[in-house]
Structure 1
Amino acid sequence: MRAILRRIQKKFSRPFDTRPQTYEVNYEVSVKNTSSSKKELNLILPIPPQTPNQQRQSDIKLWPKGTVVKKDKLFGNQYVLWQINFKPQESRLYQLSFKVLILPAAADLKKNYLMNEYKKISQKAEKFLAASPHLQSDNPRIKNLAEKIKRREKNVLTIIKNLNQYVISHLSYGRPIQGLYSALEALDNKITDCGGFSSLFVSLCLALGIPARIISGFWAGWPKNTMHAWLEIMLPDGRWIPADPSVEFLARQNRTKKSGRLGFIGSDRIIFSFGCDIPIEIGNKTVVIDILQNPFLYSENGLDDFEIEMGFEAKRLRKS
């Protein structure tokens, strides 16, 4: 009996994000037309994907109904689009809710892979090798820096570890923004947020021919479930391994209890999209947005007459 009790105590003394967690999520957006005339507006919210470590336990509930669900043609992210006609001074509420099971993700960082093995990579990975406005892997500064860190190393995981160490040791956390810092902004500013840490890390990978991608979402299970960004890196065998350089930086300074790091992501976050510089279709137009995470508003006449408030709650459901 004592042995059983010790096992139970050990299990539940571990941080909650090292165990599977189920969350009840409510994403709410309030929009007001502050003008004295009618206004048209497009409102976009991302729909969380299904992954091996993120499994929806219920259908997505959308309010109000009568909306359009679309998928971006580059990364395959799903999003919901409300096309709204506002009356003067009118306020409206929009909601997205669901239940989801999140599993911690851990990767084996000991296996040997060589850089030349990326020659066998599939066409599906090519989109995760391309430079973009926020991932400036084709910039000479980024390319030269990546080669300097790599040196003559040929082992993929050793290179990834060295890139991770460089980012963590050369950047500091601060100045968070709602959008995404580019790799060059992070490199120049030195002080940046989770997105800047991730943009620089991804760009250094791409500059060396290592596929990688930004992941955007929200924290879950903590007192404040704020937005967060991290990344994944593809190995030559097609497996993705996680990395969270901003949290790893903060953990080394004892500034956070969160446990994200190279090779491990806890069950304390919910993914809403993959990639960045994402093409979104609105009517007959394509609009490129940095990341699919926060509410995205679009109006041909501008957004000066609109006020927006958002709330994100991810309630951890404890087992009885």
Structure 2
Amino acid sequence: MEWRQIYKPIYFLLFSVIFFFIIFLCAEIFFYNDQTIKKFSLSNPEEYELEQNIFLINNGSSCINRLEVKVAIINNNSPWQFVENININPKPISIEIDDIGNKIAYFQFDGTKANQTVEINTKYLLRIYSSSFDIDPNDKLMYRSSLEEEYKSYILPEKYIECNSDEIKKTSNEIVGNTDDCLAIKKLYDFVRKHINYTKDSVICKGALCALKNKQGDCTEFTDLFIALCRVRGIPARFITGFVEVPIMDKIISHNWAEVYIEHYGWVPVDPTNRLFGVKPNNYVVVSYGRSIESLNGKFFYFFKILDYNKTNDLQIIHSQEVKIKKA
């Protein structure tokens, strides 16, 4: 019986350690969830029926032996966007998720005759919530060296987001100064929405640097400049392409906005074009991430490629997209 007396204190100590560890873990989970609830909220779920039609017309005089098409497919964007049903016609050869989370469908059409139209029809049933972040302007931002690997690409320069430009660096640093908390993001947002004059479907001005110099652009340039200014300061920011349902106009339009990554908040929506900071209404539909989507050869919604073994010179494609939306 002596061995029981010897090991009894050890058992008690081990049990105590395990017990207090479980209590500590539960407390961490509780307080984390409580903190998240205070900083983020969902409301007003809305269901939509969205239909997207892509038309590709062979406008040449010869048959196209093979036509390849890639299409960005609307995906779940938890916790505010859910695809409850999807119907794609014709059925794609494959659907893959690219390196940055875009869902890409691949189609192949053989023997497209002159004047023939190829159509890709996709119907969705979507459930979308309004989301709102209660951002404390005094919360400190992460330093570049502290960023996890998955966020580091979102502080680098890329085509149209010239955060390595001396002029953009100078502007960003002048706006923010010594601010190292969330107020810095708000300052950059305020600058962009006041600095750029909205010009519908801008063709003269492309990219962040052009928008900064010419003070004009559409939603794409608003987003480019905001992202570039954030990246100068080491704030991860990414480009969003999607649709916005406009009830007063009874239609849906394509739109661009941004998301910034803030520790303890996650990816926070920012739309300087429509004056929305930390808020995404339930009429915003996310389609894809990225300014120049590599899997779509730099395009936003779809990309097509002609493969013709006869190598004729008069192969032409007229392409268009039609999108309809209504409340379910």
Specify the TM-score bucket, using the shorter chain as the normaliser: 0.7 to 0.9
Aligned counterpart in structure 2 of residue 193 of structure 1, from 195, 218, 221: 218
Larger Rg: 2
Q: Conserved in 2, the CA contact under 8 Å of 1:103 and 1:267? A: yes
Which AA in structure 1 matches 2:207? S
Going from structure 1 to structure 2, the CA distance change for 1:66 and 1:107 (only over 3 Å counts) comes to: closer
TM-score relative to the length of structure 2? 0.78
Aligned counterpart in structure 1 of residue 98 of structure 2, from 72, 75, 97: 72
Matched, 1:279 2:286: no
Equivalent residue, structure 2, for 1:299: 306
Which AA in structure 2 matches 1:122? E
Gaps of at least 5 residues in structure 2 are 1-41
Instruction: Encode CA deviations 1:243-283: one digit per residue, 9 max, x unaligned.
Output: 110011xxxxxxxxxxxx01111001110011222211xxx
Instruction: Encode CA deviations 1:40-96: one digit per residue, 9 max, x unaligned.
Output: 3222221112121001111x21111243212322x1211112122212221121111
Paired residue secondary structure (2:273): helix
Equivalent residue, structure 2, for 1:160: 185
Equivalent residue, structure 2, for 1:288: 297
- Equivalence map 1:195-210=2 (5 Å): 195-210=220-235
Separation in structure 2 between the aligned mates of residue 53 and residue 132 of structure 1, nearest angstrom? 28
Q: Conserved in 1, the CA contact under 8 Å of 2:238 and 2:259? A: yes
TM-score relative to the length of structure 1? 0.80
Aligned counterpart in structure 2 of residue 36 of structure 1, from 61, 82, 99: 61
Greater share of residues in helix: 2
Flag as ranges the 4+ runs of structure 1 deviating above 3 A. Answer: 115-119, 300-304
Equivalent residue, structure 1, for 2:271: 244
Instruction: Encode CA deviations 1:109-148: one digit per residue, 9 max, x unaligned.
Output: 2253224555432111112122101211111111111111
Going from structure 1 to structure 2, the CA distance change for 1:214 and 1:66 (only over 3 Å counts) comes to: closer
Equivalent residue, structure 2, for 1:24: 49
- Equivalence map 1:1-320=2 (5 Å): 19-39=44-64, 40-51=66-77, 52-58=79-85, 60-73=86-99, 75-85=100-110, 86-110=112-136, 112-117=138-143, 119-155=145-181, 157-176=182-201, 181-220=206-245, 222=247, 223-237=250-264, 239-248=266-275, 261-280=276-295, 288-289=297-298, 291-293=299-301, 295-299=302-306, 305-317=316-328
Paired residue secondary structure (2:192): helix
Count of paired positions: 278
* Pairwise CA RMSD: 2.4
Paired residue secondary structure (2:91): coil
Greater share of residues in strand: 2
